[in-house]
Structure formats: structure tokens, C-alpha cells
Structure 1
Amino acid sequence: MRGAEPVKTERHDVGARQHHTNTGIRPVHTYREHAHGLFVARDFVAHPRIRHWQAHLLPALGAVVCRYDFHGLREHDYYIDIATVTRVDDLWTVRDHYLDLLVHEGMAAEIVDTGELLAAHDAGFIGTAELHHAVTTAHQVLSGLARARYELGGWLAGQGIELDWLSVPEYLTA
């Protein structure tokens, strides 16, 4: 098990078009609000594996659904962060709950980073109630994906959610 890491909290300042992360402030290409949350698209500058990142912040699901454009072979189709997403005016905040799901569309999904969650709990970075909420949410998402045969769109449609993504050519020319 890895050492404990403090909770990662990110902010999206829609008005300023800025994504505040634990490694700095990044300009955002696209913010688009929708009925279920917020869509975000931005470049990953000088990243060894990732060129672009798109995500939907979905407060009601307790998740951030991400899609990456990799420099090389695709590592997964979707990456789902289990998180608390809140909004105050133009500022959206994402409090990461450590657990993530890797989705291989139509084939499989897996929960990762359980060791990080447990280490953070042991170190006092995350309380017992939040730990239980994270585990419950991750398993609900995984079970929903399994029932939808690991088709993200099918699972989300069952929740009344349809997500739009930018194609890479659209992203590069927008």
C-alpha cells in the first residue's frame, strides 16, 4: 500500500476559464454547463502520456467522468473519479475520494486506488463517513456499468443522462 496523500481538491473557475489543480492553474479550452453538471475540455501541456482531457462533472452521481486523448495507445476509454462536486456561482469544486474506475467500453471496468483511500483514512485525511460514501458510490457505479454491459452511455441513459464529447478534430479547431 502506498503512503497517504492529502485529499486532492480541484476548482473550476468558469468565468476565468481556469482549472486549479494541485500542480497549478491551467487554461480551459471549453466549459459548457448542462442539466447534469459541467463539461470541461483542456490541453495537457508537456504531459508524457496525455494530450487532451475532457470531463463531465456530475454532482448527483458523485462522479467526474473523464475521457483522455493519449499520445500513444489508448489505456482505457473512460476514467471515472469518485468525488464530491459542488458549485457556488461560477466556481465548481471537486473533492476527490481517491477511488477511480477504469472503463474499457463494452468489455470491463475496474475499481482502482483502494489502497490510497484506505491509507488516507488511516492518516486522517478522510473520515469514516466519507470513506463509506466513496466505497458505496464506486460499487454502485461499477454495478451499474456491469448491468449495462460496460457501455458508459447505456449506464448513464438509465440515470437519465446523455453526455456529449468533442471529437479531437473539433477540439483542435474550436
Structure 2
Amino acid sequence: MPVDLHPVKRETFNTAEYTNTDPKGFLREVDTYTETDFGLYMARGADHPRFGYLESWLLPDLNLRANIFHFRPGVDVDQDFYIDVAEIQRDGTVWTTRDLYVDLVATRGEPISVLDIDELSAATSAGLISAEDAEKAIDTTLAAVEGITRSGDDAMAWLAHQGIHLTWSDNITLTPEG
């Protein structure tokens, strides 16, 4: 299967303006931002055909973005969390992410799945990402996989062992499909 070779995806989170500029450049209104000592929580609607709401935690010290996609009725996806390996920076009220290609799919009690290593390899070979960033992505992936595995295949338990207690909304409303 051919690799999806693409430049690094960048995203912006403006906590003062309650906006999120997604990787395609679309400006999205954000319902909630919560800053903590370990990261930034974002919750917003999504007009995507497969999911209608997105919750994310940016965890800069771990180079991870943990997501819950609230899928639309009839979309059957076996995952609790979708975790992006990403470089995360903050400048005042603006947070930015540079996606480092690798993704992790976590379902409690099941082995973690690692996706898109082929994209990381292709992007590194094509010069779209530096060898240093590729190494950061690999090291981050290995640390997360080991930690989650040692925590009974529970991503939230692994984070809690590190003093990172993520909270998620109990009450969301799916945004209509766009």
C-alpha cells in the first residue's frame, strides 16, 4: 500500500480567542480550554462525517496529544483514545503542535496499536522531518507503548502513574455534519 507522504501537520490552539486552527487551516470555535501544570485540554464540535465532537489533551512534556473522538451513530470504531505523537509548544496564550506522524490507538485492556511508522520513515527519507525529530518520535512512541503496556494496557492509568490525571467531558453534543 502506498505511503501517504505529506508535510508535517501543524495546529494552533488560541486560548484567548477560544479558537483552534486545524491542520487544513480551518478556524474552529472551541467550547472549552482548560490549562493545567501538565498541559492543555480542548473540547470542540466537529462537522466531520465520522465524528461530531473532539476532546484533546496536549501534553508537552510527553510529546503526546491524547484525543477522544465522539463518533456519529453508525460509525463503529474500537478505540478509547487516539494519541498523536507531536511536538507541542506554548507562546503566551497560543499553543502549537507539530504532528510527528506516529499515532497510537488505545483501547483499555487491549494491546496498544502503533500506526504510521511508514509515514515517519517516508517523511524522514524525503527530508520533510529531521533525523532528530524522527528520533524524538520513535523515543516518544517506545516510552508510551512500554508505559501503557506495563499499566495493564490502560493509557489513562499510565498517565496517572506519572501524576497526569486527565479529565473528560460527561456531556457533549455532536455538531451536525458539515
Quote how far apart the aligned CAs of 1:88 are: 0.5
Larger strand share, 1 or 2: 1
In the superposition, the TM-score normalised over structure 1's length comes to 0.93
Q: What is aligned with 1:39?
A: 41
Q: What is aligned with 1:91?
A: 94
Give 3-state SS (helix, strand or coil) of 1:36's partner: coil
In the superposition, the TM-score normalised over structure 2's length comes to 0.91
Q: What is aligned with 1:100?
A: 103
The unaligned stretches of length 5 or more in structure 2 are 174-178
**Percentage of pairs with the same residue:** 33
Q: What is aligned with 1:19?
A: 20
Give the distance between the partners of 1:18 and 1:75, measured in 2 at CA.
29
Establish whether residue 144 from structure 1 lines up as the match of residue 147 from structure 2. Answer: yes
Establish whether residue 70 from structure 1 lines up as the match of residue 62 from structure 2. Answer: no
Q: What is aligned with 2:52?
A: 51
CA-to-aligned-CA distance 1:91-148 (integer Å, 9 cap, x gap): 0000100000000111121110011111111111101111011011101100100000
Q: What is aligned with 2:176?
A: none
Quote how far apart the aligned CAs of 1:74 are: 3.4
The unaligned stretches of length 5 or more in structure 1 are none
CA-to-aligned-CA distance 1:17-72 (integer Å, 9 cap, x gap): 11111221111111111121100011111x12111110100000110011111112
Give 3-state SS (helix, strand or coil) of 1:108's partner: coil
Q: What is aligned with 1:61?
A: 62
The equivalent position to 2:115 in structure 1, one of 89, 112, 115, is 112
Q: Provide runs of 4+ in structure 1 moved above 3 Å.
A: none
Establish whether residue 133 from structure 1 lines up as the match of residue 136 from structure 2. Answer: yes
What do you get for the CA RMSD once the two structures are aligned?
1.3
Give the distance between the partners of 2:154 and 2:135, measured in 1 at CA.
26
Quote how far apart the aligned CAs of 1:3 are: 4.1
Give the distance between the partners of 2:27 and 2:78, measured in 1 at CA.
25
Equivalent AA in structure 1 for residue 113 of structure 2: E
Give the distance between the partners of 1:3 and 1:160, measured in 2 at CA.
36
Higher relative contact order (CA 8 A, sep 6+): 2
Quote how far apart the aligned CAs of 1:157 are: 1.4
